[in-house]
Chain A
Amino acid sequence: MNRIFILTPLITLLIICLFSLVYLLSGKDPSKPPSALLNKDVPIFESSSLYNAKDKIKTKDIKNKKTLINFFASWCSPCKIEHPLFFEIRKKHPELYLLGFNHKDPTSDAKKYLEDDGNPYHFVGVDSDGLIALEFGVFGLPETYLINEDGMIIYKYMGPITKHILENEIEPLL
């Protein structure tokens, strides 16, 4: 009887602590800053094409299609590392819409970069002042977002994506 009296509060406290710990740490990787826009609607944006200023893309244009958004720049070295993977993604998943946002880059440099390394994107939007990146909560390049058909951000990756990330984190969501 005495043992039960001592053990009951201890077990209760342990259960409360475990639940609290799981609740507070759910979905959080302490090594990475949290992604505030994850599982939220894609921000409202409008951007002109890198190749034709009259050609524009808006938030509503990516509704009803799965979209992979990548923020890149010619001056960003890690972007070069992940760049070839986007060709692979496009080949393996032709239904996926690839949208690249060229971030704070002179137009001529961006065009040259895509000419030299190839252009895997269906559309390259210009984000010369960084305001679109700000709406997406970007704070370093490259950053990649996966948007579902309902226009919700279902995945975000900060830094260059790798084959491992592509196969284990992005492709299962496609």
Chain B
Amino acid sequence: MKLSRFFKVLYIIILGFVFFTFKIHSAENINERVKKLTLELRCMTCQNQSIYDSDAEFSNDIKKIVKQKLQEGESEGDIKKFLVERYGEYILFRPLMNYNNIFLWSFPFILLIIGLFFVLIKTKGKKI
């Protein structure tokens, strides 16, 4: 009888320990995710600082929103989309993969290919 009570208490203690460990771990996990995401966001009112590194009111508001949205289960992509819709792509340090940016990055190579094409034709013409 006494042994059964002992196991009941032990069972409750283990459950409590697992519960609190899980709670602490998830809180740390959320804070880590907030840090990771806000390091990729630009503070719009500061000089080239990330939201994470800045203590400006704007940055603190965004940190709060990011934390709240992560706790609600939103993905990092959803949160970035939410912020880009309101503040523009400027808020992201890493540009989005969209048609404008792909064109911007590939344009020098397009020019190089066109240039090479003409050089090739010209040199071929000279040989003939």
B96 at the interface (CB under 8 A from A): no
Asked if A139 and B45 make an inter-chain contact with CB atoms under 8 angstroms apart, the answer reads: yes
Give residues 113-168 of A contacting B (CB, 8 Å).
130, 134-137, 139-140
Q: 1/0 contact trace for A1-44 toward B, CB 8 Å?
A: 00001000100110010001000100000000111110000010
Contact of A9 among B44, B61, B89, B115 (CB under 8 A): B115
Question: What residue in chain B is nearest A35 (Cβ atoms)?
Answer: B88
B93 at the interface (CB under 8 A from A): no
Asked if A134 and B114 make an inter-chain contact with CB atoms under 8 angstroms apart, the answer reads: no
* CB contact under 8 A between A140 and B87, given known A9-B115, A13-B111: no
For the complex of A and B, the 6 pairs showing the least CB-CB separation, nearest first, are A36-B88, A137-B86, A34-B88, A139-B44, A9-B118, A139-B58
Q: With A and B bound together, what is the CA distance between A104 and B100 in angstroms?
A: 37
Asked if B58 and A36 make an inter-chain contact with CB atoms under 8 angstroms apart, the answer reads: no
Question: What residue in chain B is nearest A135 (Cβ atoms)?
Answer: B86
Q: With A and B bound together, what is the CA distance between A43 and B114 in angstroms?
A: 45
Q: With A and B bound together, what is the CA distance between A43 and B84 in angstroms?
A: 14
Asked if B115 and A137 make an inter-chain contact with CB atoms under 8 angstroms apart, the answer reads: no
Q: B122 CB to closest chain A CB, in angstroms?
A: 7
B65 at the interface (CB under 8 A from A): yes
Q: B23 CB to closest chain A CB, in angstroms?
A: 26
Give residues 79-105 of B contacting A (CB, 8 Å).
84-90, 100, 103-104
Contact of A136 among B65, B86, B114 (CB under 8 A): B86
Q: A121 CB to closest chain B CB, in angstroms?
A: 23
Question: What residue in chain A is nearest B58 (Cβ atoms)?
Answer: A139
* CB contact under 8 A between A34 and B100, given known A13-B111, A140-B58: no
B11 at the interface (CB under 8 A from A): no
B17 at the interface (CB under 8 A from A): no
* CB contact under 8 A between A36 and B86, given known A139-B58, A140-B45: yes
Asked if A34 and B89 make an inter-chain contact with CB atoms under 8 angstroms apart, the answer reads: yes
Q: B99 CB to closest chain A CB, in angstroms?
A: 11
B107 at the interface (CB under 8 A from A): yes
Question: What residue in chain B is nearest A32 (Cβ atoms)?
Answer: B90
Asked if B100 and A24 make an inter-chain contact with CB atoms under 8 angstroms apart, the answer reads: yes
Contacts of B100 in A (CB 8 A): 24
Contacts of B104 in A (CB 8 A): 24
Contacts of A139 in B (CB 8 A): 44-45, 58, 87
Contacts of A104 in B (CB 8 A): 57
Question: What residue in chain A is nearest B104 (Cβ atoms)?
Answer: A24
Contacts of A34 in B (CB 8 A): 88-90
Contacts of B45 in A (CB 8 A): 139-140
Q: With A and B bound together, what is the CA distance between A25 and B84 in angstroms?
A: 19
Asked if A36 and B122 make an inter-chain contact with CB atoms under 8 angstroms apart, the answer reads: no
